[in-house]
Structure 1
């Protein structure tokens, strides 16, 4: 069958993401591919495992059309590496960390090899003996899991994945490990463990003890002896405190995961990949891909026939990836070939609901999404059984243990982050609702560029309520809710992540988990900045009760800044501003105490710089300071002086009420590099002007754009950077 060559039109964002991250490049760094040639490269490489030439030609064309028209997209390593010398196509790995120096440093070495080829790694540190436990071989004491996690973190910092991105890790510790309290608070200081997501592996027994306000035992892993006991509710409250503070640690419900373990004879689950959606046994890997549900709405209904056909092809594609993959170490290859797990997921789910005019947070929306996910799972199993009949079941299949018919793959579905691939496909990521419907992008000279969601613009024009003024108002408020020009029906349909109640996020995750997801789901439970600790606690309890295998909450703005309430004396203020009133326009006086937010940025030399912005009672910026870890280094004194002087001048302008637009304009004109101080300050002020509802945003380390937190990961919608994918 000839491939469909109807030209696929890409958005500007998609072209930017592809050129920066996916297209192969020449020696000068210039792209040598187009979307079409990339798709042909990937399709040909993955079809190549078919020994029959006719079958190869058929699959090559089918895979090409599947990817080119974005009905299905594989994970980033596959798009980047298929058909290249690197050839490592999997996204997810879990590596064991044994309780010995040899085991620990073998894991670090293996993790470096995985990161170098583009994968993300999960580690459980639960086997490591606790801090101060005895070490018989040296007559000394152990330093504990966190000390070694810091070594893993440092190793990750030095490895850039395939020359394209830094590695990401999941760090897991069981709730009954003696060092659990240290682990829970480890990321309270956001300057530490920046290459890790941390999650606590919570047992059913612990949750029962929480419910009954009972104690539970801490078990020393080196000998299995109970060494202490803690009040479960107090420990749970500590997890809640930290999750409220900045979203970490997350929680993994490890008993729920192991109840769904299809190969218990090979071992138990200990950890997941970095975003938590893929439970894997030690040394397992998994390749992922997502069906774009946005493409399967036809005449106000889901086109199930075309969806089944696509799922069948996608399942074959992902199974083929296992055989054409070049694994970073032998142990991973052996374990992966035993179980042949794949992670077929979805993206564009919110697009599907919007096209059907069904609100994301409605009972109808949840039921429809569950129906579609269940259909995807059943179609994948149908194809996997067919492949088993043709090529054989996964080698670890045991009819005495596995009470289901032989199939090719031990696991079939998960819902993973699709941060960058959903940008290519121009759809909502994973099973998440859109983070925003109308955005402001500031360009040179302070101009505002309004970016409108394609579905919202089409609906607004068709329904007659589109206007530039309305789009600007929606962008400024960050929501479609409350604008009388927008009919109530469409306000409900276009609710975004921040407009949806936490319990509705959790109910969506729970119903998807129960209806067609073998492994787990990467999703963020968005909470408003005003959310209380009690609301975070209810979210975790509700997630556990609804059958989720893991949960990540994020309170809006909690990771963007550290709120400071420092009293500063008059001499410090005067020294910090060095301002005298020369007459004319009045200068605002500074009170003795100001609220402030701190931002950790990178300069053009990739050195950390801390920007502190002080605010008045109306949350308007009044002062800007720069602090440096390298203040005392003589060779960097000029840089420190330059940054300090620039901040003082900006502070002076703020206190004289110079319009923000004018400050931004001058900063843009002064900028010579996207990471120099004028560019960094400009991005901060632009994000502030884009809408105070969300405050200042985290800054993208690659383009200095704004990061949003979704799918358990920070993602830049400007350049496609993602911390995790």
Structure 2
């Protein structure tokens, strides 16, 4: 482990704020390379012999230090911590049963998971509607939206290991009597702020919308679209698409996802996520598929090992995770890769490249999982798959780890070529970071023709809603779980644009969709250069203290390009 990690100065600041271990006086006691050594050695501890542990610790360190692959934040933060603090998974789903005991049990699990550093997803559709009779008390039910407020308040109270606040996904199925109240539960800014919300939609509902544009279903979908246009919520989860991709249907239907929507899971399941930095894989002006395959194999083994060294917050979670051994290997740096190859985001060439890259990752992950199954044994429940892991691929939003890797987030187009990011610290102050894309700067210096610059260096608002959705659909074809993607819309777009995006996403086989219209929230995490003054006016920024930085408190989830998805 002799390679020094290539973290940028801003990445090192984030590491000091949130990831490096500290002493009792909150002084860092490790350097970034020591953090990666800690993670690599701990994860490789799942290997069968000391020799194998040394071998794979070196391999794991190498791909992380070269910023070719990074796991989700809890793995970086908590690897090596003694039980019960060494919780490494980011995503959990909790079942909610229609009884006071069931609701309290779900609340207990949520608080313990948030304490350990994970986010939680719920489907509240089992809860009876507001005003329904409660036989045990002869009273009336308060309904799922009311109970969501309880879960939201619990999230406000529990801080994740002193580092950040937890995030939640709340889903209500389209056929629930309280669906309209749910659709509008976040209409007012500042309500249920620790939840992303999505409506669970079925194929037959979408078919009725298409067959009868003036029917009840079409009117309800228009109401959802109008709310999303105005406020950014709710998103949509396509439940039948999720279950068509379910590799373990014998265990029941999938009805819930993690907070960002990219991990459909059973109750008590967790998913360990990691992302490959494809922006680092350009060799002599072409994409390096050989390197991609090598990193995919190492990253798959890494994530599988995480399952065995993880300290889960509850025994039933450990049991559920080890039953299906779901992992989620995805990508980040997609926009930066396209910039380097001079490929427009919304071009046929980009769609073909996306398909080839994701197919390669899926194939190598599958081959690695099969080999691991032979080496370590396949759980009986997965014998029909012939591989070790029920799921292998998943595309997360990669908010902070993309900053660490110094690349663009997930598969999103760049938000802006020059932008300002507002980052909130634990003491409530806000730090403003101004950034210019380095590939854009480089192209300017090279004197690329203006027409090439315009076509290649596009941002999220330059890309049409249909191109956003089609890109998500291409990546979804080779993704076991789901794809986190936000359809970012210009402020002047219409509700019909949102409706068209919903229909196209369903037809493209996406497992969900989130839209965000610029300016529909009173505050944002990212601002384009032209909106910089607004960011500074809204911010209560003061100079970061010299010496010891304080940890960053994340919001439930960044509310802009990194919003939710699917």
| TM-score normalised over the length of structure 2 | 0.91
CA distance in 2, matches of 1:251, 1:704: 40
- Decide which of 494, 502, 509 is 1:532's aligned counterpart: 494
Which residue of structure 2 lines up, in the alignment, with residue 47 of structure 1? 44
Q: How does 1:248-327 map to 2 (within 5 A)?
A: 248-327=233-312
Deviates more, 1:192-201 or 1:690-699: 690-699
Structure 1 or 2, whichever has the larger Rg, is 1
User: SS of the counterpart of 2:87?
Assistant: coil
Q: Aligned in 2, Cα 1:195/1:441: closer, same or farther, shift over 3 Å?
A: closer
CA distance in 2, matches of 1:187, 1:162: 28
How much has 1:234 moved relative to structure 2? 1.2
- Decide which of 451, 454, 459 is 1:488's aligned counterpart: 451
Q: Aligned in 2, Cα 1:99/1:328: closer, same or farther, shift over 3 Å?
A: same
Residue 556 of structure 1 pairs with residue 555 of structure 2: no
How much has 1:430 moved relative to structure 2? 0.6
Q: Aligned in 2, Cα 1:365/1:704: closer, same or farther, shift over 3 Å?
A: farther
Answer whether contact 2:391 2:481 (CA < 8 A) is retained: yes
Give the gaps of 5 or more residues in structure 2: 423-431, 545-555
Deviates more, 1:64-73 or 1:168-177: 64-73
CA distance in 2, matches of 1:213, 1:338: 43
- Decide which of 433, 449, 459 is 2:443's aligned counterpart: 459
Answer whether contact 1:170 1:273 (CA < 8 A) is retained: yes
User: SS of the counterpart of 1:498?
Assistant: coil
User: SS of the counterpart of 1:200?
Assistant: strand
Q: Deviations over 1:172-213 (max 9, x none)?
A: 000001111110111101221000000000000111121122
Which residue of structure 1 lines up, in the alignment, with residue 180 of structure 2? 181
Which residue of structure 2 lines up, in the alignment, with residue 37 of structure 1? 34
User: SS of the counterpart of 1:396?
Assistant: helix
How much has 1:9 moved relative to structure 2? 3.3
Q: Aligned in 2, Cα 1:40/1:267: closer, same or farther, shift over 3 Å?
A: same
Which residue of structure 1 lines up, in the alignment, with residue 558 of structure 2? 714
CA distance in 2, matches of 1:704, 1:129: 50
Q: How does 1:89-238 map to 2 (within 5 A)?
A: 89-213=88-212, 231-238=216-223
User: SS of the counterpart of 1:97?
Assistant: coil
Higher RCO (C-alpha under 8 Å, 6+ residues apart): 2
Give the gaps of 5 or more residues in structure 1: 216-229, 443-447, 466-485, 562-598, 600-682, 706-711
Q: Aligned in 2, Cα 1:172/1:449: closer, same or farther, shift over 3 Å?
A: closer
Answer whether contact 1:252 1:551 (CA < 8 A) is retained: yes
Answer whether contact 2:420 2:433 (CA < 8 A) is retained: yes
CA distance in 2, matches of 1:232, 1:693: 41
- Decide which of 69, 74, 79 is 1:77's aligned counterpart: 74
| TM-score normalised over the length of structure 1 | 0.71
Answer whether contact 2:6 2:65 (CA < 8 A) is retained: no
Which residue of structure 2 lines up, in the alignment, with residue 408 of structure 1? 388
User: SS of the counterpart of 2:13?
Assistant: helix
How much has 1:57 moved relative to structure 2? 0.6
CA distance in 2, matches of 1:527, 1:716: 11
Answer whether contact 2:393 2:481 (CA < 8 A) is retained: yes
Answer whether contact 1:700 1:716 (CA < 8 A) is retained: no
Q: How does 1:646-725 map to 2 (within 5 A)?
A: 690-692=529-531, 713-714=557-558
Answer whether contact 2:129 2:176 (CA < 8 A) is retained: yes
Q: Deviations over 1:77-112 (max 9, x none)?
A: 000000112110000000000011000010000000
